[in-house]
Amino acid sequence: MCPLMRRVRLSFLPGLEIEFTDRDGALRQVEDWARESTRWPIVVFGPEGCGKSAFLRQATVMLRDLGYDVVYIDPLHRFFITHTDVDEITRKLADAASETLGIAQLKLATLAIDIIKELLEKWGRKRVAVLVDEVFQAIGLEKAGLYVKSLLTLIEYPPRSYEGIVAVVATSEGVTRGEIGRHRWAHLTSMWNMPKEGFRQLYEAIPGFKPPFDEVWRLTGGNPGMLLELYRRGWNAYEVVKALIRDKGLTPSFIAKWRDWFERVVDDPEALWSPDAPEELIKQLIERNLIVYNMYDRDQAFWVDAPPPERDPELGIGRDVAWQTPLHREAVRLALSEVK
C-alpha cells in the first residue's frame, strides 16, 4: 500500500477528530477492488461499532485518488460524500437528504444505484464507485436481497462500457446474511473489531485521563464504538452495560425464558453451535446484534482486514460463534444476576 496515502480524519466526538487508524489489510483490499473491479457487490458484515463506516470513508478517499468518481451514502443518517466534478450529482443527493424523515432514507438508497448509472451513461465516466452504509436499515431488511441484486445487475449489464466499478455495502444486520448468501448475488465478507496494536493507536489518541489500555481492551475487544461509549460515560463500564441491557431488550422475561442457555453461553458462546442449541434463541441473539454466528474460517480471504483469533475466551470469541464485544457478554451476565 502506498505509504503516502492520505488518512482521513473522522469525528469521534464534538471537538475531537481522530485520524483513521490501522486497517492496512483492509486498505490493501480496496486497492485490489480498484485495480480489478468488483465482480459482485461486496457486502461487509461485522459487529456494531467495529469500524465499518470509518473504513468506507477512508476507502472513499482512496478510490478518488485511484481515479474513480466516488459516491458514499449513509441513508440512515442522511449523509453523503461525493468525489466527482459533476455538480448535478451532488445537488440530487442534497435534495434527497433534505426530504422528510423516512422519505429521505429511501431516496438516498435508490440514488446510490441511479447515480452510478448516470455517471456511466450520461456523463461517460469509466471508473465509478458506490459505497453504501447501513442501507438495509433504511430500506427494510426484506428488501436487502433485491438491493444487492440491483447492484449486481448494474455491474453485469451496465448502460455503457466501463473500466471499473466498485460497489460496497456495509451492514451490522446479521439477519440479512442468509438471504443474500442464498441467492449468490453478492460477495459476503466479514470485518471484525480492531487488532490489538491498531486499537492501541486509537486509544492513545484520546486525550485526558483513561483507564489502563489492557483494561479497556478486555472490555471492548477492540471495538471502537464501545471505546466511544466508555469515553462518553466517563469510563464507567457499569453504565455502558446497563445501557446495553435496555437497548438490546434483555428483559426479565427474555432472560428467564433462556436462563439455562444464557448461563452456558456467557462463558462459552460456542455452546450455541451445538446441535441442541435452540434456533429461536440464536435468531433472537442475531437480531439483537449480540452475537456473530456462523463465523468464517480465519483464512484472510474471508475477511476485510485481520480476522479474529480462532478462540479467545477472555474476549468471548469461539470458533463459530462470538459475542460482538465483551461488554455485550457482560450485559447478559448482569441481566442474569438481576433476574432471580
Residue 305, all three cell numbers: 482486514
Q: Under the phi-then-psi rule, with left for phi > 0, alpha for psi from -120 to 50, and beta for the rest, what region is 326?
A: alpha
Distance CA 132, CA 310 (A): 30
Contact 18, 10 (CB under 8 A): yes
Predicted pLDDT at 3? 45
Residue 199, all three cell numbers: 486499537
Predicted pLDDT at 259? 97
What φ, ψ does residue 330 adopt, rounded to 5°?
-65, -30
Predicted pLDDT at 2? 47
Q: For residue range 217-269, what is the model confidence (pLDDT) as tens digits?
A: 999 999 999 999 999 999 999 999 999 999 999 999 999 999 999 999 999 99
The domain segmentation of the chain, as residue ranges, is 9-191, 208-338
Topology of the domain comprising 9-191: Rossmann fold (3.40.50)
> Which ranges in 157-236 belong to alpha helices (H)?
177-183, 196-204, 213-220, 224-232
pTM to 2 decimals?
Answer: 0.92
Q: For residue range 23-72, what is the model confidence (pLDDT) as tens digits?
A: 889 999 999 999 999 999 999 999 999 999 999 999 999 999 999 999 99
Residue 6, all three cell numbers: 492520505
Q: What is the largest CA-CA distance in the chain?
A: 66
The answer on pLDDT for 287 being more than 80 is: yes
